[in-house]
């Protein structure tokens, strides 16, 4: 018997749509995965123009509400970063919606299926890496700008000399 599943798609910027994570590309991957694994796609929900920094997105909240009332047994995403980049948010989602005995979280790209202990382990490791990536990207920009500014104001060679 096929698992009743909700698919969630998300892009936060136009650039993402140009780099292969467009909504159409995500939809095609999710439909192919659902067919391969005999999932019954109850609904495909789209969050366009929303960041994964927050789970307070209209489409995701609708999907979670459907899981809560039993309209579906699983949530399917093309990649984990389409759901969230926050370990805290992911932990909360897993606890409330995807813990053993609750709905399943399925990810095409990472081959995650939280119906098994191994799937939950992989999910938690990848969530940590995802959050690190977001923080590293955010930390890198200001640091590189301040480094350039400090080098621009020092003499050739980048060394400051003590005043005599």
Distance CA 65, CA 57 (A): 12
pLDDT digits (tens, 9 = 90+) for 122-146: 877 877 777 787 788 877 655 555 5
Domains of the chain: 3-152 (3.40.50.1390)
The 3-state DSSP class for residue 83 equals coil
Residues 94-121 have pLDDT tens digits of: 889 988 889 999 999 989 998 888 988 8
Cα–Cα distance for residue pair 145/163, rounded to 1 Å: 27
Per DSSP, the three-state class of 29 is: helix
pLDDT tens-digit map of 44-72: 998 876 777 778 889 999 999 999 999 99
DSSP string, 112-160: EETTSHHHHHHHHHHHHHHHHHHHHHHHHHHHHHHHHHHHHTS-GGG--
* Residues recorded for the chain: 164
* Cα distance between residue 67 and residue 74, in whole Å: 7
Provide Rg for the chain, Cα atoms: 21
Q: Report pLDDT for 23.
A: 85
pLDDT of residue 16: 60
pLDDT of residue 40: 97
Kindly state the percentage of the chain with pLDDT values over 70: 79
Position 74 pLDDT exceeds 70: yes
**Residues 99 and 139: beta-carbon distance below 8 Å:** no
pLDDT band at 90 (very low <50, low <70, confident <90, very high): confident
């Amino acid at each position: 018997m096929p698992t009743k599943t909700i698919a969630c798609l998300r892009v936060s910027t136009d650039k993402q749509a140009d780099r292969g994570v467009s909504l159409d590309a995500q939809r095609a991957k999710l439909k192919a995965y659902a067919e391969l694994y005999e999932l019954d796609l109850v609904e495909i929900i789209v969050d366009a123009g929303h960041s994964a920094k927050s789970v307070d997105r209209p489409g995701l909240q609708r999907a979670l509400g459907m899981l809560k009332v039993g309209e579906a047994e699983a949530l399917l995403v093309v990649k984990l970063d389409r759901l969230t980049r926050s370990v805290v948010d992911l932990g909360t989602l897993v606890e409330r919606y995807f813990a053993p005995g609750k709905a399943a979280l399925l990810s095409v790209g990472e081959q995650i299926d939280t119906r098994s202990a191994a799937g939950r382990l992989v999910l938690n490791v990848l969530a940590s890496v995802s959050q690190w990536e977001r923080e590293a990207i955010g930390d890198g920009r200001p640091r590189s700008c301040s480094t350039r500014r400090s080098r621009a104001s020092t003499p050739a060679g980048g060394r400051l000399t003590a005043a005599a």
